[in-house]
Amino acid sequence: MKRLLLLNGPNINMLGKRENDIYGEFTLQDVEENLTNLLNEHGYELDSQQSNHEGSLVDFLQQANGKYEGIIFNPAAYTHTSIALRDCIKAMETPVIEVHISNVHNREAFRHQSMLAPVCYGQIVGFGLLSYRLAAHAFLEKNGEE
């Protein structure tokens, strides 16, 4: 079966307990269940990983390379800082879509900055839980599944 990886960075495990006006009331488990259902309908499986550590995220990406149709990645705060994640994604063959729940372009100035967007297959921001679903649809479309 074809597979996508959902990868989430620091504090995304705290969804539901973070600022609801910015991040919504849904939890990471809600995201995982929602995406799993969507992908199963299209004959895909979802694996899911979350880490608060930059190096662990690099490890997950390296281990996932070549094993997935695509990676839906919310790097959270590391998007604004991480050269290590950028170098990793740049060297990968598996496409990565950068996802953010909030509209990072309308927030504090430093959040406008994405280290990762230039090396990602795409970037989706500002649609809450729907941001993740849009990324899944982009991979399904890329593979001619819809």
CB of residue 90 to ligand DQA, shortest distance in Å: 20
CB of residue 102 to ligand DQA, shortest distance in Å: 3
Contact status: 77 vs ligand DQA (CB under 6 A): yes
What's the order of all strands across the beta sheet hosting 122-125? 44-50, 2-8, 70-74, 96-100, 122-125
Based on the residue annotation, tell me whether 121 is a catalytic residue of this protein.
no
Catalytic-labelled residue, pool 23, 44, 68, 78: 23
Strand partners for 122: 97
Structure letter (DSSP) for residue 130: H
**Which one of 50-58, 81-89, 100-108, 115-123 is the stretch in contact with ligand DQA (CB under 6 A)?**
100-108
Contact status: 133 vs ligand DQA (CB under 6 A): no
Write phi, then psi, for 68 (nearest 5 degrees): -130, 155
CB of residue 93 to ligand DQA, shortest distance in Å: 25
For ligand DQA, give the closer residue by CB, 108 or 146. 108
Please give the distance of CA 29 from its chain centroid, rounded to a whole number. Answer: 14
Q: Which of 94, 90, 115, 112 is nearest to 103 (CA)?
A: 112
Q: Which residues are part of the catalytic machinery?
A: 23, 100
